[in-house]
Amino acid sequence: MILPVETSEVAGGSAGPLEGLRVLEMAGLAPVPFGAMMLADLGAQVLRIDRASGYAPPPGPLDRGKESITVDLKSEAGAGLIRELAAGADVFLEGYRPGVAERLGIGPEQLLQLNPRLIYGRMTGWGQDGPLAARAGHDINYIGLSGVLDLIGRRGERPVPPVNIMGDFAGGGMLLAFGVLSALYERERSGRGQVVDAAMVDGSSLLSTFLHGLRADGLWERERGDNMLDGGAAYYDTYETSDGKHMAVGAVEPEFFFQLTAILEIDDEDLGFQIDPTTWPAWRERLAAVFRTKTRDEWAEIFADVDACVSPVLSPWEAHDHPHNIARSAFIDVGGVRQPAPAPRFDRTPTATPRPLNHRGTDPADILAAWGVEAGNYFGTGTGLK
């Protein structure tokens, strides 16, 4: 039985451009939680479904703004509860291997029959088809196959995994959120839902589109770590300071490079034109020697008001203290954990500060009531809710 729900009840009255949007998230690791977090940050009502058996990730920043219940998906009542929730949802998100959701009775065919307007988002590493579709993998595997991992690293050294940001988050969860919002926009015209197949191998490959263009124009032909944007160019690299920290230099354009050399008091008459790759080793040696004469914070203060594209390399745990990030409130506290604030920003429908998981309590009956679902039929052993 679906009960009517007032808009004011949705997500506890959260503000944001997605207020009133209902999202069901099947609990998982990294990509799906991040995509759902982005939607929750913008005001969507997100309900995370935890499985009664199997690994459950501990609550954290990716769960902010959400509520959760634990459901026995192996029981018919549990699958029935998911179907009932999906019947009143706008978006359904899952990150299972292809075929798993269908076996649980909550695949796209089953749910779209109940709710033809549903946007069914599927997040995988390899995609829903292809010879690797059923294979296990992690971020490093997906960006390896997409060609992105080969781009990252120093000259003559092996590729370096960029944590798991490139596949899980940028090419994964963010791609999923983008696909869902695109499908929602199309639904305004057609009135119909559809399946979004978001694959990390596709998303990470998409992120390298610009570099494919550079290569086609003959501007990216050198080996890894020897090109203008991968640490090969002396004017686009990091430099160690006297305290073992680093400064980031991105003085690509001549006017910025001129400011850089002026501040560093480097006479460039004997070093040659900055864009010429043959000059990069000499430039790097000279720049490195100067940057090693002061601490990172001393250099940061020197370059603070200079248009030279030079900035300190901050750790994620100190970035919140930088004056620019303070001025923009770029970091917030949620449940005692400092973390990045929602982005982007909206002038008419600003987002609210996210609240911790289950901020309105953990009673499944109350949580389901906010979705217009009566919980009575789903309580008890083997009947769905745990």
Are the C-beta atoms of residues 5 and 335 closer than 8 Å to each other?
no
108 within 8 A of 98, measured Cβ to Cβ: no
d(CA 99, CA 164): 25
Distances (CA, A) of 60 to 55, 57, 92, 168, 362: 15, 8, 21, 16, 16
Catalytic residue among 63, 90, 168, 202: 168
Q: Quick one: which of 123, 137, 114, 49 has its CA closest to 364?
A: 49
Q: Which of 138, 246, 322, 359 is catalytic?
A: 138
Residue found by looking up tokens 């940061």 in the block: 300
Nearest to 378 by CA among 114, 145, 49: 49
The answer to whether residue 359 is catalytic is no
Provide DSSP, 252-276.
-SHHHHHHHHHHHT---TTT--TT-
The answer to whether 324 is a known catalytic residue is no
Distance CA 137, CA 378 (A): 35
Instruction: Give the bridge partners for 284, in sequence order.
Output: none
Phi, psi of 236 (to 5 degrees): -140, 80
The string of DSSP codes covering 192-254 is --EEEEEEHHHHHHHTTHHHHHHHHTTS--SPTT-STTTT-STTEEEEE-TTS-EEEEE--SH
Beta bridge partners of 67: 47
d(CA 144, CA 357): 34
Q: What residues act catalytically? A: 138, 168
